[in-house]
Every structure is written in structure tokens, then in C-alpha cells.
Amino acid sequence: MSRIVHVGAAQLGPIGRDETRKEVVERLIDLLQQGAEEACELIVFPELALTTFFPRWFTEDISAHDHFFETEMPGPDTQPLFDEARRLGIGFSLGYAELTPDGHRYNTCILIDRAGRQVGKYRKVHIPGHEHHEPSRPFQHLERRYFQESMDGFPVFRGFDGIIGMALCNDRRWPETYRVLGLQAVELILIGYNTPLWYAPDPDHNALQGFHSHLVMQAGAYQNGTWVVGVAKGGIEEGVEALSQSVIIGPSGQIVAQAITSGDVLISAHCDLELCKRYKDTLFDFGRYRRPEVYGLITERKGAIAPPLDPAPGGLDQ
């Protein structure tokens, strides 16, 4: 028996610094309506989908960027998105900057079901970039200045007749993200990203940035028997180019849908959650084959430490 959820990946093009929430929400609603025309049940929006990628700018007083954060969800500007989704009977996930009542700042994603109810919230665990002003960089990536690392881990949620997990951007590069979700029997992982492209002197690196983004998500999907939906906000935004190439990946690790432009676009796929069992129960039977007792270094050690050099005869290193 199949358990199919029709998922739409709603890629966004650039959002200007002066673009208002109302203007952005209108773009999201347009993509939502496109999803309704294709009979999607769940629409996945990117990380920080409501604003430009503001961590590229340094400010001494981080509260000067508070206007990029949401203090309530939904709020007055985002309520129309929730209303339209409820009217259409479509669920969605949405990434945004969250400012809590007690002053904490998180890079956050929520999951809303087809009745308009919030069924899940995730706060980003792996925060990349730097904390201090480094004007010599071609552009700055100050996520560690403006966001706190979440201690909530990687929860899963029941919805859309399946088990769903969420992650954000840099989280997708860590195998632990997928494994922790996989150990909770996840069947569908939703990942929004804003990935600035940086151009190294080595042209091979530049050509591989899209490949690496897909590689980690495909490996995570296959090794944990789950669907993965990776959705970008891409294009040239405030002078910085960001990766597009949004994808929907099956539990086989195969890409089943991919965006080929860098603007606002919807791609979709019929995701049969029953396919996950072929990989979870047959190929990767965690309960039978995993060996947690020999994986201790994964949680005991944070950085890589090489083994000592073999001593030379006489006890001296060569």
C-alpha cells in the first residue's frame, strides 16, 4: 500500500534589503497557489524566507537588526499566508528569524498542517560563519553573531500521514543530522537553505559547490531511508550570489525533481513514504546491524585528532 504526499519545493529568488514583508508574503502566496494548482499537500519554503540574508552585514548593536526577526508567528504581515494556506487546504514549512520574548535569537523553521495548525518547530543546530567584523572578506557571513545555537536537537513530528523532520542550511552538511532523525524513523526531511557562493582560485571548487550540496542530501536520504526536500533562496541578492538548485530526493538517494533556474519557482513530486521501508527495514536494518558501542568517538570528541606517530627504534621519532 502506498502513502503518497505530494510535496512542492518553493524556491525563492533574491529578496532585496528594502523589500517589505507584505511584498515577500505575496510572493510566497503566489507559490502556494501554484502548488494548489498542482494539487500539492505540503509546500516547503526556504530558510529565512521572509527577508534578505541579513547576516551578511555587520552591526555593533545586534538589536539594530531586530526588524529582520519575527516576534510572533503568525504576525500581522504573515497572517495572510496562513489564511490562504488554510483556505487552500495546504500545509507548509517556513524558515524565518525568531526573536523570543526573553530575547533569544534563533534561525527557525515551523511546520504547519493542512488545517493551519503548527505541528512542529525546529531551531538551527549547526550555525556557520563568524562572530566578528571581518571587512577584508569579499562578503561576510555573520550567522554566529546574530543567531544562537539551538540545544533542542533534531525532533520529528507526525503529520501528512508520515514522520517528518526539519533542518536548515549548514545542518545538511552533517551526517549526524540525518542519523539522529533516521533513528527516530523519519520519512521526510525538509531543509531550507541560503548558501552564498564563494569563488576560490581553484576552479574545481567553484564547479563543485552545487554538487556538494546535492551529495550530502542524497547520501543522507539513502543512508537513512528517507525523502529529503532541499529548498533554496538563490540568485544574486544584494550583490552576493547564492546557490539555487532546489531538489526533491527519494530514499534511494536519487534526485526526482530539481529546479534549473534561480528565481521563484515551484517543483514538486509525489513522495511515497512507504518506499522508505525498503531501505530502513531491508538494506539498513538499524536494529540488527548498527553497533553503537563502537561509535563512541562521534559524541566523545568534537574535533579531529590524529593518532600519535609510531616511535622510531630507540624510542625517538624519525
Q: For the segment 85-108, what is each residue's pLDDT rounded down to a tens digit? A: 999 999 999 999 999 999 999 999
Q: Which residues pair with 228 in a beta bridge?
A: 189, 249
**What are 120's three cell numbers?**
512542529
Active site annotation includes 149: no
* Catalytic residue chosen out of the listed positions 40, 41, 47, 276: 47
Average pLDDT, the chain: 95
Longest dimension (CA), the chain: 80
pTM of the model: 0.95
Pairing of strands 4-11, 265-272: antiparallel
Residues contacting 17, CB < 8 A, separation 6+: 52, 54, 238
The type of residue at 55 is P
* Catalytic residue chosen out of the listed positions 109, 169, 271, 276: 169
Contact status, residue 227 vs residue 234, Cβ threshold 8 Å? no
- Please give the helix or strand (H or E) that residue 164 lies within, else none: strand 162-168
pLDDT of residue 313: 63
pLDDT of residue 206: 72
Q: Which residues pair with 255 in a beta bridge?
A: 249
* Catalytic residue chosen out of the listed positions 84, 98, 109, 124: 124
Active site annotation includes 276: no
Predicted confidence (pLDDT) at residue 225 exceeds the cutoff of 90? yes
CA distance 22 to 3: 36
Give the confidence band of 314 by pLDDT, cuts at 50, 70, 90: low
Alpha-carbon torsion 15, 17, 23, 25, what sign? positive
CA distance 318 to 313: 9
4-300 fold: Nitrilase/N-carbamoyl-D-aminoacid amidohydrolase (3.60.110)
pLDDT tens string 246-293: 999 999 999 999 999 999 999 999 999 999 999 999 899 999 999 999
Domain boundaries, the chain: 4-300
The type of residue at 58 is F
